[in-house]
Structure 1
Amino acid sequence: MGEQQGNTANWFSLDWFRPVTFSNFQWENPILFYAFLLIPLFILIWWVWSLSKKKNLAIALVRKDIKWSASSLLRHIPSLIFLVFVSLIIVALARPQKTNEKVEQWTEGIDIMLVIDISESMQIEDFKPNRLEAAKDVARKFIAGRFQDRIGLVVFSGEAYSRSPLTSDYDLLGEYIDGISFDLIEKGGTAIGSSLAVATNRMRESDSKSKVMILLSDGDNTAGNIDPITAAELASAYDIKIYTIAIGKEGKVPFGKDFFGRTRYVENTLDETTLRKIADIGHGQFYRVSDNKALESVFQLIDKYEKAEIKENRFRDTTDFYPIYLKWAIVFFLFWMMLKSTFVSNVLQD
């Protein structure tokens, strides 16, 4: 309303007649612009009618005394003013307007807890540059694709701790992910059960209709004070769906350099059976990935599965500008009426 009042106050500005102004309008009745095609026909009919009504006065003059005067053109000014008036009426009837559409989106959201292994074996380089950095990279991309979901972060090796509570502040969460390193937890080992318990504790009071846990690990449960199966059953009791991702290749995998700078290989072991059982108890899915591309594909698949329905409201704010051109039309009509009462309309043609 304030914008419309401001536009009305500046109706006398010549900017309303700039081509760029007209190109920015939406028109409620654009079909009325065809009326401009009738103007030449109207002029022709008017001219023929004027000729039929014109009275000739016989005057004897010497040809050399007959001269054309530019002042005779002044008689056309009222007609031109009237044509401008008609044109402005057509523009006003076409109803120029601008519409701003505001879209509000919302969703009930999903609570998601990322549970990431940061044990020593995550330094293995079968992923580039290593398993942990590959996991951090896909976690960032996963978060970037979410909308109004709350996401938390748990890291673990020999112990587990909550790196971030459930939050929708994705920038802050990204900083927490960037800060993940192998020295966050001093105790060695892989406490899968403890990590599930910590993540469940963070989510147990959530009232979200959908709660999801994504566990990413490359080893066996070798530490912690709770069995992984027991922890998975506890999570399931709180209606938490669990996806498990086993990261790493089978057999010998590259792990650092030896004394002579040559690539060192170690034997990779992974308790795939336990991770499968955890996913089964949590009514989720188990995935085994052996390179960066496969890991990214799994996160994209989970992202697709765990999408809340996005709802939206659309608000249309329409501002009409026809009063501006109607006011200009009135001005030109009054101007035309005034000229019709002056000598300008009575200038004789030679």
Structure 2
Amino acid sequence: MEILNPWALILLIFIPLFFKHRKLNTLKKITVYSQKNYFFLIAFLLLVTALCRPVINNGYINVKLPKTNVIIGLDISKHMQKNDFYPNNLEFAKNKFSKFVKYLNYEPVSLLLFDKDVYLLSPLSSDYNSIVYLLKHIPKIQTSFYPDFYNLIKTVDEFKNPKVLVIFTNSTASKKALEEAKNKNLKVFIYFIGKQQNKAMENFAMITNGGIVYASYLNTDIKNLSSMINSINKKRVIKIKDKKELFYYPLFLGILFIFLALFKGRR
């Protein structure tokens, strides 16, 4: 057994004061008034015991911390209409997204569509089928030619932690967007849809402690991306002490003796 608040024992100094100002009768001549005092004294001792918070240690248990919220930013700008991959980069990205979520370990996912502006298609959810359905049925909208990564990162900041950002794009982020991601301590993972390497986006992912995967027609690319995300949650397990609180027992008895003392005082 362990006492979490031993400082509460200092309250026991009031007991000698109690005997000093209230001279109690002997057990053979207990009056109603002396019984009331005894009940109050017992209640006081029990309440001090409750305040000390006695606990029983049951060892340690493993606790998984909240899963990482995965925020997906899908570039829908006109630049994604390029046909580096069939039928075009945007449709290819949609298809890869539907495969990507199948490899996740039920992390909460939110899908944002972005060009110059950011559009919330789905809030955080583990219902991946619904998110994929919404993505397949989005209407055609007039978009800007290039995406605004800075605006995307500012929007992601509104989501609760812990979180990571996964970007499906074929464009290059600005230095302003990189600085914003660094200031927010945001891990950025990039699925780059292009036939050539992009050093700037590789640097973006590296500086934000994220990663980059280049698109291909094989499933290995999307498996590698999902493995990066799943590996984050595997580390989020901590050990804590399993303690059983006992304070409510003396607390209940203390309140009971207070009622008894008040009841005795009315007789």
Tell me, yes or no, if structure 1 residue 197 matches structure 2 residue 154.
yes
Aligned equivalent of 1:275, options 191, 196, 201: 201
**Once the two structures are superposed, what CA deviation does each residue of 1:86-130 show, in whole Å capped at 9, x if it has no partner?**
xxxxxxxxxxxxxxxxxxxx8731100111111223233332332
Q: What is the DSSP-based 3-state SS (H/G/I as helix, E as strand, rest coil) of the residue aligned with 1:187? A: coil
Q: What is the DSSP-based 3-state SS (H/G/I as helix, E as strand, rest coil) of the residue aligned with 1:202? A: coil
2:112 and 2:176 map into 1 onto residues whose CA distance is 18
Matches within 5 A, 1:29-40: none
Q: What is the DSSP-based 3-state SS (H/G/I as helix, E as strand, rest coil) of the residue aligned with 2:150? A: helix
TM-fit CA distance, 1:190: 2.3
Give the structure 2 partner of residue 22 of structure 1: none
Native 8 Å contact 1:134 1:292 kept in 2: no
What TM-score comes out, normalization by structure 2 length? Answer: 0.55
Matches within 5 A, 1:158-173: 158-173=116-131
Tell me, yes or no, if structure 1 residue 217 matches structure 2 residue 169.
yes
Tell me, yes or no, if structure 1 residue 130 matches structure 2 residue 56.
no
* Residue segments in structure 1 that go unaligned for 5+ positions in a row: 1-105, 222-227, 251-269, 312-350
2:141 and 2:127 map into 1 onto residues whose CA distance is 22
**Once the two structures are superposed, what CA deviation does each residue of 1:49-77 show, in whole Å capped at 9, x if it has no partner?**
xxxxxxxxxxxxxxxxxxxxxxxxxxxxx
Native 8 Å contact 1:112 1:150 kept in 2: yes
1:305 and 1:240 map into 2 onto residues whose CA distance is 16
Distance 1:141 1:299, change over 3 A: same
Distance 1:290 1:149, change over 3 A: closer
The letter of the residue matching 2:165 is M
Q: CA RMSD, aligned part only?
A: 3.1
Give the structure 2 partner of residue 232 of structure 1: 178
Matches within 5 A, 1:1-350: 108-180=66-138, 183-199=140-156, 201-203=157-159, 206-208=160-162, 211-220=163-172, 228-250=174-196, 272-291=198-217, 293=219, 295-308=221-234
Native 8 Å contact 1:128 1:134 kept in 2: yes
1:299 and 1:240 map into 2 onto residues whose CA distance is 17
TM-fit CA distance, 1:212: 1.2
Distance 1:237 1:189, change over 3 A: closer
2:151 and 2:220 map into 1 onto residues whose CA distance is 27
TM-fit CA distance, 1:218: 0.7
Distance 1:220 1:146, change over 3 A: closer
1:193 and 1:300 map into 2 onto residues whose CA distance is 24
* Residue segments in structure 2 that go unaligned for 5+ positions in a row: 1-63, 238-267
Give the structure 2 partner of residue 319 of structure 1: none
Length, aligned pairs only: 175
1:300 and 1:109 map into 2 onto residues whose CA distance is 14
The letter of the residue matching 1:234 is E
Distance 1:307 1:133, change over 3 A: farther
Distance 1:292 1:119, change over 3 A: farther
Distance 1:146 1:220, change over 3 A: closer
- Structure with higher Rg: it is 1
Give the structure 1 partner of residue 57 of structure 2: none
Distance 1:111 1:185, change over 3 A: farther
Native 8 Å contact 2:70 2:109 kept in 1: yes
- Percent identity, please: 22
Native 8 Å contact 1:161 1:198 kept in 2: no
What TM-score comes out, normalization by structure 1 length? Answer: 0.43
Q: Answer 1 or 2: higher relative contact order, Cα 8 Å, separation at least 6.
A: 2
